[in-house]
Amino acid sequence: MFQKILIANRGEIACRVITTAARMGIKTVAIYSDADVRAKHVAMADEAVRIGPAAVAESYLQGQKIIEAALRTGAQAIHPGYGFLSENPDFVEAVEAAGLVFIGPPASAIRTMGLKDAAKALMADAGVPVVPGYHGENQDPQFLAEEASKIGYPVLIKARAGGGGKGMRLVEQPAHFMEALAGARREGQASFGDPTCLIEKYITHPRHIEIQVFGDGHGNVIHLFERDCSLQRRHQKVIEEAPAPGMPAAVREAMGRAAVEAATAIGYTGAGTVEFIVDGSGPLRGDGFWFMEMNTRLQVEHPVSEAITGLDFVELQLRVAAGEPLPVRQDDLAINGWAFEARVYAEDVPKGFLPATGELRHLHFPAATAFEVGSVRIDSGVRQGDEISPWYDPMIAKVIVHGPTRSAALNMLSSALEGCRIVGSVTNVEFLAALSRHEGFRRGEVETGLIARDMAELMPASEPSLDVLALAALGGLNLLRAEQGSDPWDSLVGWRHWSDARQFVHLEGGDRCIEAQVTSLGQGRFTVSVMGETAMLNVMVLGGPAVRVETDGHQFNADIVRETDRVSVFVSGRSFSFGLADALTDVDEGQAAGDTITAPMPGLVRAVYGRPGASVTKGEALLVLEAMKMEHTLFAPRDGVVSEVLAAEGDQVTNGTLLLALEPQDE
């Protein structure tokens, strides 16, 4: 077994590998960019080596620098994690040429499966069912459009070197094919250095089910059952589960056998995932699944398979890479219970899941637990005070639960998500919690189109209740300070001898500034008047930001996090954040709403469609911004005429940069 390994990655997966290595007594070396000097994975490792500036191309993709760091620190092997260089066969060969061990499959297997067209041809030869489509070399746009017509719409355009939803476009009508192809090619080039695309038939009620496989250097290949990853947005996974709901034993056996055959055909070793697209229009069938791609690395969602098998996949990777045989055989494996993983991201769901940035000023997750009836596990690469930067994937954490049944595990997932407290960036936590409660999902009716179809249902009303506004006012006035002790009436803050104390606070929420009047009645009792309504609250402090509140004969728990200029309220699985306005500051009423388009995040301007003097309609695409390797289209906020275009293709812009302006509307 290795004595020291280097992890050629960052964030959550680096922390995950370090945790298992430490348990096995293996020393670890982290690498870091200038943006990650104080990152969690750097602090967890025994040693760390600077690899370059913040930009991925100058740091985490610098294979030779990573190899030199491993040699300099005496590491014997390199674990690639996922993403970055994990599926780069040239990097694997360079690692091995340097006398190091690559903790993953051989370069030949990665190279074979790295190009979707070649992989599908190989799978077809091996007898694995594949989706109908065009996987050839001819990339003439007109030719590809003709092939799409032959296949029949809807079709899916996929960058052949793609992954994680990048370089993928669903096209439902011929008129949209050329625009979608151009976008897929741009993303393929930007993310993988390869604009080549393939065209496939789009299954109208698809489920995304993948099989976890493991191979060793002794000729053993096994599968560790399936994961259902059908809950997706923009072709990226949101919630994964294992096993797949509604999976008959015969179909599981057929898919597992096909996955093992696929891995065996390429001489696979280590952890891998064979992904299938499955017809979800009815009960799962043995002839209703098709090979989609193989990910030649550890998957983000591997913890759900760990939960139902009781195995540590990183440990298996290390043992296989060290030359040991797999410690289990297929007949040793059985499914135990049900597991879910929800990916918590810094992203703005109402704005189309736009990646977000910010300092994590308050970060609290439910405590990791292991009960007789189930468990909660949090995998995270960040800590309170860390920055979610525009340079890397905006994942904050993975919330993983394991229960005896699907229903029990889903209840645990909902509860765990409702217990997350994150301040400093918008997140998708409320969306994930709503998804975990979705009636169709709870019944096991999963397919890749569920989120897009039921988005309105999954977006809770954003208007805060009177109780929320009242709690925000109390927090904004610091009437719930921790130093008051366990009982607020033990403090004389706000007390007046001759009358009840009244205080005022201005809360900024959305585009409104709300004045609240708070009257302290003593012994933790307050009346709060907001927008003509009055609430009476009896507040019992529980410790930290948590309080117990009674109002109108109803008691409930809430968390109130007060910052210098903001106050956040967490209640009933919802979160609300308000700015604390200075009542003496004039509000600028002169800024016209809907007259401009600004950059919603830092990024690169990829395309500019708007031209000065052009008439546009509301919802018309005007610019394309690339951020975090994904393209985001910016649309006209209203009908009007473009007065000024302030950005050009290739411009690097920061958050809030003015990109385009419309002529002012007539009064």
- Contact between 169 and 184 under an 8 Å Cβ cutoff? The reply is yes
| Residue 77 DSSP SS3 | strand
Contacts of 478 (CB under 8 A, 6+ apart): 493, 562
CA–CA distance from 78 to each of 6, 27, 85, 99, 174 (Å)?
5, 12, 11, 11, 46
Burial of residue 150, with CB atoms counted within 10 A of its CB: 0-12 exposed, 13-18 middle, 19 or more buried: exposed
Q: Name the token pair of 114.
A: 């790295």
CA–CA distance from 494 to each of 49, 485, 520, 550, 579 (Å)?
53, 15, 7, 20, 22
**Of 8, 12, 9, which Cα lies nearest the Cα of 388?**
12
| Rounded CA separation 358/310 (Å) | 36
**Of 638, 608, 605, which Cα lies nearest the Cα of 620?**
638
* DSSP-assigned beta bridge partners for residue 557: 548
- Active site includes 297? yes
Q: Name the token pair of 62.
A: 């610098």
Residue 499 backbone dihedrals phi, psi, to 5 degrees:
-165, 170
How many angstroms separate the first and last alpha carbons of the chain?
76
Q: Name the token pair of 600.
A: 């919603």
CA–CA distance from 651 to each of 601, 624, 632, 645 (Å)?
13, 11, 15, 12
- Contact between 48 and 415 under an 8 Å Cβ cutoff? The reply is no
Neighbours of 320 (CB within 10 A): 24
| Rounded CA separation 59/177 (Å) | 36
Parallel, antiparallel, or unpaired for β 206-215 and 155-163?
unpaired
Convert 286-308 to b/e letters by CB count within 10 Å (16 or more is b).
eebbbbbbbbbbbbbbbbbbbbb
| Residue 125 DSSP SS3 | helix
Parallel, antiparallel, or unpaired for β 369-371 and 374-380?
antiparallel
| Rounded CA separation 187/157 (Å) | 12
Instruction: Indicate the residue type of 390.
Output: P
Which residue among 16, 160, 233, 297 is the active-site one?
297
> Which H, E and C letters describe 334-363, residue by residue?
CCCCEEEEEEEECEECCCCCEECCEECCEE
CA 512 to the chain's CA centroid: 30
Active site residues: 297
